Structure 1
Amino acid sequence: MFRRTFWFTAGAAAGVWATTKVNRKIKQLTPESLAAQAANKAIEAGHRMKDFALDVRDGMVQREAELGEALGLNADPDPASSRRLTALESGDGPRYGKNPKDSKNPTYVERPTYSYNRNEDH
């Protein structure tokens, strides 16, 4: 009698366990559950890509600093060294204004105007 009770209980427990496992698997395969799992995986992949991009950026900054130091680009410029003036600094560039007759400079040029109309025929 004890053997029959033991096997009956073991069979009932195995049946409950198997039913529970099957029901869980069925719930995991519903469209809503699959969509949620896919969204979670996409978010996780996005976080990994962001971390990778930040690591690459940090490595780039570090390598640029190493190269700048090796090439002497990070050194303070010598104030005694001569520097070429740009056209704006030297005053040799064209003069822009509203009325060319008011300008006594022969290099006077009217400011160019550009049309930014997106509906314009091309």
Structure 2
Amino acid sequence: MSRLFWLGVGVAAGVLATRKANQAAHAATPAGIGANVGEGLRELATAIGSFGAEVRAGMVEREHELQETVERQTGHTPGRRARRAND
């Protein structure tokens, strides 16, 4: 019984080692490298888009804060529409 167990462990280890070796070999091919680069570029584009969205949200929030400050200090409500109407 013990020999059968160790035979099974050896077969499982061999299968895992073969799969890892095949994955490593595929990653070293031009197609595998291209896939890795493509995935990296997709992640970079997603991160840049997310950063841009956060910056825009921060700009809008800061603009509201500044408008509230101007309105509190002057009593005048600034805004694009107000400026255009006065021009």
TM-score, length-scaled by structure 1: 0.51
Residues 1:53 and 2:56 are matched in the alignment: no
Q: What is the alpha-carbon root mean square deviation over aligned residues?
A: 2.7
Q: What residue in structure 2 maps to residue 43 of structure 1?
A: 42
Q: What residue in structure 2 maps to residue 28 of structure 1?
A: 27
Q: Tell me the matched-pair count.
A: 78
Residues 1:13 and 2:5 are matched in the alignment: no
How has the CA–CA distance of structure 1 residues 26 and 54 changed in structure 2, closer, same or farther, with 3 Å as cutoff?
A: same
Question: How far apart are 1:67 and its partner, in Å?
Answer: 0.9
Q: What residue in structure 2 maps to residue 95 of structure 1?
A: none
Question: How far apart are 1:10 and its partner, in Å?
Answer: 2.9
Is the Cα–Cα contact under 8 Å of residues 26 and 32 in structure 2 kept in the other structure? yes
TM-score, length-scaled by structure 2: 0.67
1:68-113 deviations in whole A, cap 9, x for unaligned? Answer: 2211252697xxxxx8xx8xxxxxxxxxxxxxxxxxxxxxxxxxxx
Q: Which runs of 5+ in 2 are unaligned?
A: none
How has the CA–CA distance of structure 1 residues 60 and 13 changed in structure 2, closer, same or farther, with 3 Å as cutoff?
A: closer
Distance between the aligned counterparts of 1:55 and 1:23, measured in 2?
A: 41
2:77 maps to amino acid: N
Identity score, percent: 35
Q: Which runs of 5+ in 1 are unaligned?
A: 78-82, 87-122
Question: How far apart are 1:9 and its partner, in Å?
Answer: 3.5
Q: Which protein has the larger Cα radius of gyration, Structure 1 or Structure 2?
A: 1
Report which of the two has the higher share of helix.
2
Q: What residue in structure 1 maps to residue 77 of structure 2?
A: 74
